Chains A and B, each alone.
Chain A
């Protein structure tokens, strides 16, 4: 199944003008644990999807927030004439499509 079928919110946003941060959030602890156990979300896979090198990505597993987080350098600073997303709010779409093994039936 697709990652977005299990999450409550997938978002991106600037973390300052030179970094971009992605939050993958869950409201269901079972879905979160399932994705965590699958190992599909990891720095190497996310770096590939987000077009940066694995040593540029910071990756966090946040159990108390039921969330995964990744932070990467911005390709261009916020407000650069070639940059099309001032707030970095629309950069998450590729994450929605990440394939996750089906959640087992209870």
Chain B
């Protein structure tokens, strides 16, 4: 018996396409899954405990999932509310409660898997030498753990399989491997791991794996021998090349994809056109790991920011921009040290100038620094340990930006076109990623907390 599944959309909140989703449900899938998050959204959401999608967008998708999927077909959602921390799981659960009561649904059995990690557990694992760095990882020690705002573990298929064993209608997981949402049940039913993980990898971004990106629903069928990936929706088509290309997306290595229990190896994967829109995959391998590992994602509070936005049009300033901005920064630094030196040491605060039209996007890698623009946009970010101090630095920055002299002009100049009045915007707290490591747990479940709850209208 093949195992059949649907990926409802690339992420919960990105919008389910109802006609193609219904078409998919008519095919009788064994489960429906979608991730709801990504680390690509940056450190903010993990730190702040908020998500990147509007409440209404998440509610729209959960309303369709809970309202349309027949009972007996489990729904799996992972990486709740962008970052998959405990507050993210909580907020998603609130939306589920709301849908159940508004639609007056039959009682819904939910497996909730939380993935936030306690500081004590991480310190213990660090002392036991069971935390290892990944490529380009930052320094990580007990102080990092202590300073962190929130650290989550990215679960693999095992906690999901454990949850499915409780005969639930919905699995709501904290931070989770996207592919694991699709691999968990097929592996449980005996589908070869390479095919199960590979099919998950192909569909987890929704129709992004198609030739042209349009709205639709992804359908998959797995057997012992192969996987068939079919896009549902108007004008959607998968080709061997589009499916092979998708394994490049957001991955450092196109062939080897690390998961908790091993590595998906696509070196010998074969892709063929199965019908005009579907692709057949075979030959995907899975190499079990010597040691089970769980990736950590974590952030620490980096400070607070206040921002000034404006522009420069004076060709005399533009042709000596680097010198001019250097002098402006020096003048700001001098004023900060004179007036705020008793509260801020030089390492406590920073000024970052993003010069749009020059090198704001590429920084030092910009190859066209010699080409002078006619206009430069400036975003001046002042960062400090408190919002009050960041704003004070912004207040001290305004005058140097406006009036710093250049030799070509005599008399008082106004060299900066301020966009806003008042000149600054308080941006609030910002976070930085502080960990890029794996934990080697003694057991796949020890980092995750599973609760079974029943929600009633």
Contacts and interface: CB of A to CB of B under 8 A. Distances in A.
A58 B255 CA distance: 12
Contacts of B134: 16, 18
A13 B249 contact: yes
Contacts of B249: 13, 23
Contact of B250 (A21, A67, A76, A77): A21
A71 to B, nearest CB: 4
B214 interface: no
A50 B248 CA distance: 19
A81 B252 contact: no
Interface in B319-377: 350, 352, 354, 360-365, 367
Interface of A: 13-19, 21, 23, 25, 27, 49-51, 58, 60, 62, 64-67, 69, 71, 73-87, 90-91, 93-94
Given A14-B40, A17-B43, A27-B241, A77 B432 contact: yes
B197 to A, nearest CB: 18
20 contacts: A13-B250, A15-B251, A15-B252, A18-B134, A18-B433, A19-B135, A19-B136, A58-B253, A60-B253, A67-B254, A69-B248, A77-B432, A78-B43, A79-B42, A79-B44, A81-B381, A84-B361, A84-B362, A91-B361, A94-B367
Contacts of B350: 81
Contact of B383 (A13, A81, A91): A81
Contact of A94 (B39, B135, B352, B365): B365
Given A66-B241, A81-B430, A86-B42, A71 B365 contact: no
B245 A67 contact: yes
Name the residue among A49, A64, A77, A87 with the largest chain B CB count within 10 angstroms.
A64
B245 A25 contact: yes
Nearest to B436: A18
Name the residue among B137, B245, B432, B436 with the largest chain A CB count within 10 angstroms.
B245
B250 A78 contact: no
Contact of B433 (A23, A78, A94): A78
B244 interface: yes
B42 A78 contact: yes
Contacts of A76: 363
Nearest to B305: A81
Name the residue among A50, A58, A80, A90 with the largest chain B CB count within 10 angstroms.
A80
